[in-house]
Amino acid sequence: MIKNLKYFGLMAALTFSLYCYSGNPERIGQAGASQLLINPYSRNSGMVGSNSAKVRGLEAQFLNVAGTAYTRKTEVLFNRSNWLQGTDIFINSFGLTQGIGETGTIGFGVTSINAGKIDITTEEQPEGGLGSYNPTFYNINLSYAKIFSDNIYGGINFKIISEQIPNASARGLGIDAGIQYHTGKYDQIHFGISLKNWGPKMSYVGDGLSRQANITSISNSYELTVNNRSGSFELPALVNIGGSYDFYLTKDSSGVSKQNRISLNGTYTSNSFTYDNFLSGIEYAWREMLMIRAGYYFEKDIMNQETRRTAFTGPALGATFEVPINEKKSTFGFDYSYRLTNPFGGSHTFGFRLNL
């Protein structure tokens, strides 16, 4: 127990940061890079991200990077989201995690957002008619996680953030850190805490911020190029604190069989620039081959259509089908999730996973 005190100390330090990054209604809308808050993974989003204490594999880069340490060999993952169906926004995410040595894991993940076409407008032609452009958003993640003991996993994630429109772009760096703790006779109790999106401010630069201006004096008139400076913006930092409990419905000679599992998940998210969130989820698994899940996302005013600040109405559903493909216990899986929204037609996410 004494050996693990330093890890509990780190968890306490991350918990203390909750008070530094707690939700503040007066700061709502003041952060940028809001794409960092979009969950691009189907297993996570099927439970609205409530499984931060138990998430595993590459998907853990989004909720709690400590969970990537569960990959002991190789995992390859691809997901595609039809975000807020009807808006023509599509999100692609892909990457891999690779176990190194006996306790370490490295992870690489890329999330790309295609925000569709936007009409070009100017002061002279505010109605458009000048064509369109496609804004692009990329998040590139590189993580390292480690198994510190049989019960404690920890990790850190470095991310490169890129936003670009014609002739202007913004780039930044962010850091995530997290710890997961697992205990119980059958390792059925899970706790986790993570700090996400901590980093310096970002700002836009480029020729798109310049414009031609006519300068008139007493003797003559001439044209100058005027450069406008973009205001800087902060990253949407947050803290996740989660817990999970596994119920095993059947028993064998060892006293428990993991053939039928029900997991209850809960996460409290403390946001810096928006309302705090309460996330809950449940998952049933049969032999870890067929999994069905559901979740509910709650924040202030979400029940009131007139005052809520999100298109999501709360509920989410998801399912996974994963089968072995060889004698080495390699598996191939298909994931799907759906989150209800109003307006728009909800968000659909499909994913393919290969564990070697």
CATH code for the domain of 88: 2.40.160.60
Residue 109 located in a structural domain: yes
User: pLDDT tens digits for 224-236?
Assistant: 777 788 889 999 9
pLDDT digits 0-9 by tens, 197-212: 999 999 999 888 887 7
Average pLDDT of the residues in 102-108: 96
Tell me what pLDDT residue 124 has: 80
State the total domains in the chain.
Answer: 1
State the pLDDT confidence band at 250, using cuts at 50, 70 and 90: confident
pLDDT band at residue 18, thresholds of 50, 70 and 90? very low
d(CA 322, CA 33): 34
User: For residue 201, what are its two tokens?
Assistant: 């401010």
On whether residue 332 sits in a domain, the answer given is yes
**Is the Cβ–Cβ distance between 191 and 154 less than 8 Å?**
no
Whole-number mean pLDDT of the chain?
88
Residue 218 lies in a domain: no
In a domain, 123, yes or no: yes
pLDDT of residue 146: 96
329 or 335, which is more confident?
335
pLDDT at 255: 67
**At 20, phi and psi to the nearest 5?**
-85, -20
User: Cβ contacts of residue 208 below 8 Å, gap of 6+?
Assistant: 165, 166, 167, 168
Domain residues for the domain of 108 are: 2-202+233-355
Lowest-confidence region among 175-184, 214-223, 331-340: 214-223
Distance between CA 5 and CA 14 in Å, rounded? 14
Average pLDDT of span 4-9? 50
* Predicted local confidence at residue 305, as pLDDT: 83
Cβ proximity of 176 and 197 under 8 Å: yes
Least confident interval from 138-142, 148-152, 327-331: 327-331
Mean pLDDT value of segment 98-125: 91
183 residue type, one letter: T
Lowest mean pLDDT among 62-76, 119-133, 162-176: 119-133
How many Cα atoms occupy the beta-carbon half-sphere of 149 within 13 Å? Answer: 15
How high is the pLDDT of residue 328? Answer: 84
What separation in angstroms does the CA of 259 have from each of 57, 118, 163, 297?
21, 50, 45, 29
**Other beta carbons within 10 Å of 73:** 13
197 in Cβ contact with 237 (< 8 Å) = yes
Q: Could you read off the pLDDT of 30-84 as tens digits, one per residue? A: 888 999 999 999 999 999 999 999 999 999 999 999 999 999 999 999 999 999 9
Residue 181 has pLDDT above 50, yes or no: yes
217 located within any domain: no
Task: Decide if 129 is inside a domain.
Answer: yes
Rg of the chain over Cα atoms, rounded to whole angstroms, equals 23
More confident residue, 88 or 77: 77
Whole-angstrom CA distances from 77 to 37, 52, 327, 339, 356 are 20, 18, 21, 20, 11
The yes-or-no verdict on residue 117 having pLDDT over 90 is no
- Measure the CA–CA gap between 233 and 230, rounded to whole angstroms: 9
The rounded distance, in Å, linking the Cα atoms of 131 and 333 is 42
Measured distance CA(142)–CA(129) in Å, rounded: 42
pLDDT the model gives residue 10:
52
**Residue 9 pLDDT more than 70?**
no
